Chain A
Amino acid sequence: MSKMTMTQKIIAAHAGLEEVHAGELVLAQADMVLGNDITAPIAIQEFEKIGGGKVFDRDKISLVMDHFTPNKDIKAANQCKACREFARDKGIKNYFDCGEAGVEHALLPEKGLVTAGDLVIGADSHTCTYGALGAFSTGVGSTDMAFGMATGKVWLKVPSAIKIRLTGVPGKWVSGKDVILHIIGTIGVDGALYKSMEFCGEGLKALSVGDRLCMANMAVEAGAKNGIFETDRKTLEFLQDAGARDPKTCTADPDAEYDQAIDIDLSGIAPTVAFPHLPENTRTFDQIGDVRIDQVVIGSCTNGRLEDMKAAAEILKGKKVAEGVRLIVIPATQKIYLQAMEAGFIKTFIEAGAVVSTPTCGPCLGGYMGILAKGERAVATTNRNFVGRMGDPGSEVYLASPQVAAASAVTGKISHPREVMPV
């Protein structure tokens, strides 16, 4: 009997092996190779150095122009142009440009381009998002992407794993963002270094697919190679609705070896905020105090999905953004934008005094569309709060859920949603 984790089973299946063990180096076949307008240009240069020619499979490469688009400056425009020409030249089917593009890790699940049991590599660290759907997916660099586009393959060191057993039901103002921030606060930004984080347990039932995408997305902020969730009825419905290929679901072997097991009772988690300048600097509201803010960003691959828009809109409905605070809302894809408009969320945001932007990664990484000045503070539903992440090295980013971000926009300070909502 094998003793493999979920991750190890998927890697073994893609390496043509019966069994793999932690620490082993394998060459695996990828089902999808992903890049964006920042990482793909270097990959394309490297691809040309090994002779150019055909890509391994034009259906299994995704190029998403999302970071600095619509092009923020001439250099960004040139980078997108290089991607566009490469995609056209190689006949790459899943090329997404302005009008179709969205934040990559929201877009690929929505388009049904990832399914359970897949092995996905992406030249973007948040590629780990798709673990929410029962895939093994991990971030790599541009050279790996070039090699992947040429051969369909990637070298991988088989990871050991941390098992995270979830129980209970989260409270009213608690989302997947609070759960993952709590976990990172507990184990630290290198607490899962080189490892898988495998989420299981009856608590999963209380988490939406959106919550799980948010949690898997931030596995990398604990240093993890990937985060992966056991699949259930919700996963399968999501995949079917998205038109994804037939899922290959798997569970860990009963006696799979884990480095560590962590038990989390979801009912014990409170709204959580990560203070500057590391995602592990988490605090709950009994430790936060009066923190005045200048800007709020609601969006990104972490929290730019429709349910995030809905959560923010429910809090902002009929209210105004505090004087002196700038609220920027960014639906992660065109489809989400349209659905948010049809549901009236966009109207709510604009009436509250927010600006609503076309899908882009923009402000999350300090690219454009919401850069902070020296000394300014932002509450953001994004994933990183490193020094200078959203602008000036003297600015600060506080990571939170859409509920906390929306409430903070109303009060002008970091606020628990109950401060602005009737009980």
Chain B
Amino acid sequence: MTVKGAVIKYGDNIDTDGIIPARYLNTSDKKELASHCMEDIDGSFASVVKSGDIMVAGSNFGCGSSREHAPIAIRESGISLIIAKSFARIFFRNAINIGLPIVECPEAASEIEPGDEVGMDFDSGIITDYTKSRTYKAVPFPKFIQSMIEAGGLIGAVANNVLGGAENEV
């Protein structure tokens, strides 16, 4: 499984209030959430983001509240992958649980620049910056995580019975 897209880049400690302000948490409508994604940090995000784009950020991405609305808003905006130096832990599990691919790779997160054309192969964990002709190695996604991403998250995977028996252990 691979993704490829143009990079939108942010700094350290991007918090969930910045990703989706609480004033929009009175809805769980995914398109509406996406229309306000990153609004208080980057007012132009919702209008410039294209399907397949890749978000790159610094350390502690997604810190703050447990709102699953945050990764949902990013996924529904069309972002295909987030690469960061590190993620806040609740955001990390929420993203995986809803099938939004996210990966920690400090070197890639430092060097990749806004607008670069970047791709990742989920089987090998290789991140490629096509603009700069550089590659980086991240930890590859295990098969069951890839199955979850394809099924749109943990619930989709359980409902579609695609975890290959893994759900029998739970």
* A residues neighboring B (CB under 8 Å): 27, 38-39, 41-42, 45-46, 49-51, 67-68, 72-73, 75-76, 79, 122-125, 127, 139-144, 146-147, 151, 153, 155, 189-190, 193-194, 220, 223, 225, 278, 365-367, 384, 386-389, 393
The interface residues of chain B lying within 8 Å CB-to-CB of A143 are 68, 94, 97-98, 153-155
- Does chain A have a CB within 8 A of B65? yes
Tell me, in angstroms, the Cα distance from A27 to B167 when the chains sit together.
11
Q: Would B17 and A147 count as touching, CB distance under 8 A?
A: no
Q: Would A141 and B28 count as touching, CB distance under 8 A?
A: no
Which of A27, A39, A42, A51 is in CB contact (< 8 Å) with B169?
A27
The interface residues of chain B lying within 8 Å CB-to-CB of A193 are 60, 86, 88-89
The interface residues of chain A lying within 8 Å CB-to-CB of B15 are 384, 386-387
Tell me, in angstroms, the Cα distance from A23 to B94 when the chains sit together.
18
- Does chain A have a CB within 8 A of B106? no
Q: Which residue of B lies closest to A191 (CB)?
A: B60
B-side interface residues, number (CB < 8 Å): 39
Q: Would A38 and B17 count as touching, CB distance under 8 A?
A: no
Q: Would A50 and B155 count as touching, CB distance under 8 A?
A: yes
Q: Given A142-B68, A387-B17, A387-B18 in contact, is the A223-B63 Cβ separation under 8 Å?
A: yes
In the complex, number of A-B residue pairs with CB atoms less than 8 Å apart: 131
The interface residues of chain A lying within 8 Å CB-to-CB of B1 are none
Q: Would B89 and A141 count as touching, CB distance under 8 A?
A: no
Pairs of residues from A and B, 4 with the lowest C-beta to C-beta distance, nearest first: A141-B94, A75-B26, A143-B97, A190-B60
Q: A50-B155, A220-B90, A384-B15 are in contact. List 19 more A-B contacts (CB 8 A).
A: A38-B67, A39-B67, A42-B68, A75-B26, A125-B66, A125-B90, A139-B66, A141-B90, A141-B93, A142-B68, A147-B154, A147-B155, A190-B63, A223-B88, A367-B23, A386-B15, A387-B15, A387-B18, A393-B40
The interface residues of chain A lying within 8 Å CB-to-CB of B23 are 366-367
The interface residues of chain B lying within 8 Å CB-to-CB of A384 are 15, 17, 64-65
The interface residues of chain A lying within 8 Å CB-to-CB of B17 are 365-366, 384, 386-389
26 contacts between A and B (CB under 8 A): A27-B169, A38-B26, A42-B72, A49-B159, A72-B26, A75-B26, A79-B28, A123-B66, A124-B65, A124-B66, A140-B66, A140-B93, A140-B94, A141-B94, A142-B68, A143-B94, A144-B97, A147-B155, A190-B13, A190-B59, A190-B88, A278-B13, A366-B17, A366-B21, A386-B18, A388-B17
Q: Would B94 and A388 count as touching, CB distance under 8 A?
A: no
Q: Which residue of A lies closest to B72 (CB)?
A: A42
What is the distance, in angstroms, from B22's C-beta to the closest C-beta of chain A?
4
Tell me, in angstroms, the Cα distance from A393 to B98 when the chains sit together.
28
Q: Would A27 and B170 count as touching, CB distance under 8 A?
A: yes
- Does chain A have a CB within 8 A of B47? no
The interface residues of chain B lying within 8 Å CB-to-CB of A75 are 26-27
Q: Which residue of A lies closest to B99 (CB)?
A: A143
- Does chain A have a CB within 8 A of B3? no
- Does chain A have a CB within 8 A of B78? no
Tell me, in angstroms, the Cα distance from A51 to B167 when the chains sit together.
15
Tell me, in angstroms, the Cα distance from A38 to B22 when the chains sit together.
9
What is the distance, in angstroms, from A35's C-beta to the closest C-beta of chain B?
10
- Does chain A have a CB within 8 A of B158? yes
Identify which of residues 130-169 in chain B touch chain A, using a CB-to-CB cut-off of 8 Å.
153-156, 158-159, 169
Identify which of residues 24-78 in chain B touch chain A, using a CB-to-CB cut-off of 8 Å.
25-28, 40-41, 59-60, 63-69, 72
Which of A73, A142, A144 is in CB contact (< 8 Å) with B26?
A73
Tell me, in angstroms, the Cα distance from A193 to B89 when the chains sit together.
7
The interface residues of chain B lying within 8 Å CB-to-CB of A140 are 66, 90, 93-94
